[in-house]
Amino acid sequence: MKFRTLSAVAMMAASLLSSTVAFAQSSDAVIDRIREKNAISIGYREASIPFSYIDKEGRPVGYSTDLCKEVAETVKTALDLPDLKIEWVPVNLQNRIPLVANGTVDISCESAVNTIGRQSQVDFSNPFFISHTRFLVKAGSGIAALADLDGKSIALPINSVPERLIKSLVEKDDLNVRIVPVKDNSEGFLALQTGRADAFSTDDILLFGLKNKAVDPAAYEVVGKPLSYDSYGFLVQKNSTVFLTLVNATLARLSREGELQALYGQWFDPMGVPLSPDLATVFHVIAIPE
């Protein structure tokens, strides 16, 4: 038994060594940039709570941010760059895809929904979260569904999946809903707070994040049935196969070892959002063996 255990450990070590050597001998545009700069540029958002946002000290933090720190560690080992630095680059809904596509950002680590349209411009990692489009409203507003917004207004983030979805549903149901365009989640929440909009719609997990960070969380509620099924992935430059493999290998390892589930608990349990059966299944699926 002891011999078989030692043999298994030896085989695993040999496998890891051969994988590292293979990556060290492989390359793509992102890998070349990282080697040249001895740095990896990670895109982050300022108010995509709890995925990627700025803390009180002005540092990027969040669930996605933690995952991409693990990606950086994987890259450091695979490319034998012990002094690899992380360059944090702020991104928003409007510029994140162009910055990844042109190579300014090596990986955007926030809350990007994987869509066919976006796949024409960038590549996505394996999914690490599942979300749904819903509404954030003031408590006691009487708004529980899109139909309740007839004759009212809704704030929608520009160039987002929820914006396109809600607009199409408003047109389909012939509703009289005034659209208030906002640049990000902070502006959308402000529009709701100040009465510029009767509701703010985006991914429900982001709405829970805004609600929990409010001065009075009880003054707001997330309502409505799920209007979409959206998977989040990290954005990387097109055709960066070697780098994307390292990203997905990191997610697979974290899932196999239970770290992905632990990070979920760290960031989402305090929000009262338990791990859903859908996301639990995703974690199992992405735990690809080495």
Region class of 109: left (phi > 0), else alpha (psi between -120 and 50), else beta? beta
- Does residue 43 register a pLDDT over 80? yes
The predicted-structure confidence for 218-277, as pLDDT tens digits, reads as follows 999 999 999 998 999 999 999 999 999 999 999 999 999 999 999 999 999 998 888 989
**What percentage of the chain carries pLDDT values higher than 90?**
83
**What pLDDT, on a 0 to 100 scale, did the predictor assign at position 35?**
97
Which band of pLDDT confidence, cut at 50, 70 and 90, is reported for residue 22?
Answer: low
User: Is the Cβ–Cβ distance between 127 and 230 less than 8 Å?
Assistant: no
The predicted-structure confidence for 3-19, as pLDDT tens digits, reads as follows 343 344 334 434 444 45
Which band of pLDDT confidence, cut at 50, 70 and 90, is reported for residue 149?
Answer: very high
Structural domains in the chain plus CATH codes:
2-130+231-286 (3.40.190.10), 133-228 (3.40.190.10)
Task: Identify the DSSP state of 248.
Answer: H
Find, among 182, 160, 164, 184, the residue nearest to 172 by Cα: 164
**What pLDDT, on a 0 to 100 scale, did the predictor assign at position 12?**
41
The predicted-structure confidence for 209-221, as pLDDT tens digits, reads as follows 999 989 999 999 9
Cα–Cα distance list, 210 to 59, 140, 153, 234 (Å): 18, 18, 19, 22
The predicted-structure confidence for 88-140, as pLDDT tens digits, reads as follows 999 998 999 999 999 999 999 999 999 999 999 999 999 999 999 999 999 99
Tell me which of 1-5, 176-180, 205-209 is least confident: 1-5
Cα–Cα distance list, 46 to 54, 55, 88, 218 (Å): 5, 9, 11, 24
Which band of pLDDT confidence, cut at 50, 70 and 90, is reported for residue 25?
Answer: low
Task: Quote the crossing angle between the two packed helices 204-213 and 185-193, to the nearest 10°.
Answer: 60
Which band of pLDDT confidence, cut at 50, 70 and 90, is reported for residue 199?
Answer: very high
**What pLDDT, on a 0 to 100 scale, did the predictor assign at position 189?**
97
- Does residue 290 register a pLDDT over 90? no
Cα–Cα distance list, 108 to 14, 16, 53, 257, 285 (Å): 32, 27, 13, 24, 22
The Cα 22–Cα 79 span in angstroms is 10
Task: Quote the crossing angle between the two packed helices 2-25 and 241-256, to the nearest 10°.
Answer: 150
